[in-house]
Structures are given as structure tokens and as C-alpha cells.
Amino acid sequence: MNKILNINSNNVYSILCILAFTLTTSCDTDDTQEVITLTNIVLEDNFDVDGAPNPAIWGYDIGTGDNGWGNNESQYYTDRPENVVVENGMLKITAIKEDFEGSGYTSARINTKGLYSRKYGRFEARIKLPWGQGIWPAFWLLGNNIDTVGWPQCGEIDIMEYRGQEPTIVHGSLHGPGYSGGNPITKSYELSNDRFDTDFHVFGIEWGEGYVNFYVDDVLYNQITPADVTGEWVYDHDFFIIMNLAVGGSFAGAPNANTVFPQTMLVDYVRVYQ
């Protein structure tokens, strides 16, 4: 297991900045960056065994949003290797334009529900995103109590959400009671002179009691605390991980004639730090 510095004092923050060439933590001096919390890795998938995703970590959502978890999307989620597979050290989630079970597209949505969940820590993934109007990839967390309290009472943490027609912008958001659906607590991050579909980037959160910090490539761009939400703070229990590639829907809109298929989200690794 990797040993990583645990720094809980702003007094030593300048030391971290001096050593930034050996540590991969941003030295953003924004006042919102109060704590850096990186310790031991407690979950890691490097996708180094070809075939289906590791069944000890990942399960599947199958079907469309008709069962209550969709957002007016157009795809049918499958567990077929055409839509989700590990190859050459990468997880590949692919959206295909095809007629399948009454839908015009297929894709995949994998999750750790019932297999792995955690309260607090750093959750991150290194991802190369797809592109095109109506393409909607996401890396996110849902409260483990969703089956008993429902959504949005369970809480949702969107570590990375992206519209394929805006290849320089990603979004980090919280959804909870009173601030969900089209009204989350959210902020966007925009690349300069680069695109998220041309190279890999690391998307992460650092989550603790009373805060969620959002990062792209270790740059802090958003911090949300109980004072920022317009309803109940519901982020003090276990959450599980979801990765998916949607087509269409309320966030990204429908594909158009210029949208090229297939489109693939490539994931190099997923890690959770204590």
C-alpha cells in the first residue's frame, strides 16, 4: 500500500508547496483549501486483467431509466463486452448507436453497490473522456441507503460530469433534499488550451465531515459545506461508486447528426484513499 503524507495543518502548507515536484498535490492557495487528507489506499482497481470488470468490485445496472434511475436518457445499459470490457490496462465503457431492446443506443453503467462503500476519504479516477453532442459520461457516488430512504435523501456526489459538446468543461456537484435534479449545488472547471477527450485527467474529491472538495488534476476548484446547500446535509454515511456513459438525457441533450458513434470512456484506474 502506498504511504502518502497526511497534512492537517495550514502551517505546513508552504512546505508542501516547496516539495510539490515530488508530491502530486496542488499548491492552490485559494482560501477554500483548508485540509489535504491523503493517507493509505483502501481500494484500487488498475484494470490490469482483461475481460469483464472485477466482479469482486463491480456490478451492473441493466436496462433503461424506466425503473427510476434514469434522466430521460436514450441508451439501454448492458453488461456485454461490446459496451463494457477491460483491455490493455484500461476499462472501456462504450456507447454504440444500435437498435437494442427498444432503445436506439447501448452503453454501460457499473457500480460497487453491495460490494464496496465508504464514508469519507479521497475518491479519484484517471479518465479520458469521449466527445460529441449528447454524450454524457460520469464518475459519481450514491448514498448506500438509497433503497430505504430513496433519492435524493440518500445524497449524490458527482465527482465528474461532462457534456460531450463542451469538451473543455467538467462539473462537480452535490444533489440532496431541496437541491437535486436540475438544481444541484455545482461548479464547473474549464481547461485552458486543452480538451478532456484528447488526454487523460484525474478527477477526484476529498470528502470529510462537513465538506466535499472537488479536484481536477489535483487543482481544487470547488468546496461545498453545509452552509452552501439549500436543504439537509446528507453526506455523513457510506456511499458507493458509479461509472457510466449515458446518451442523451436532461443534462446533455440528444445526439445530433454530427455525433460520431461509437464513443468510449477510457478509465486507467479508480482509487479510494483513507
Active site amino acids: 156, 161
Gap between the Cα atoms of 187 and 181, Å rounded: 15
**What are the two backbone dihedrals, phi and then psi, of residue 153, each rounded to the nearest 5 degrees?**
-60, -30
DSSP secondary structure letters along 41-62: EEEEE---S-BS--TTT-EE--
- Tell me what percent of the chain is helix, strand and coil, each rounded to the nearest 5: 5, 45, 50
Of 155, 88, 185, which is closest to residue 128 (Cα–Cα)?
A: 88
* Alpha helices (H) along the chain: 13-18, 146-149
Of 267, 274, 272, which is closest to residue 110 (Cα–Cα)?
A: 267
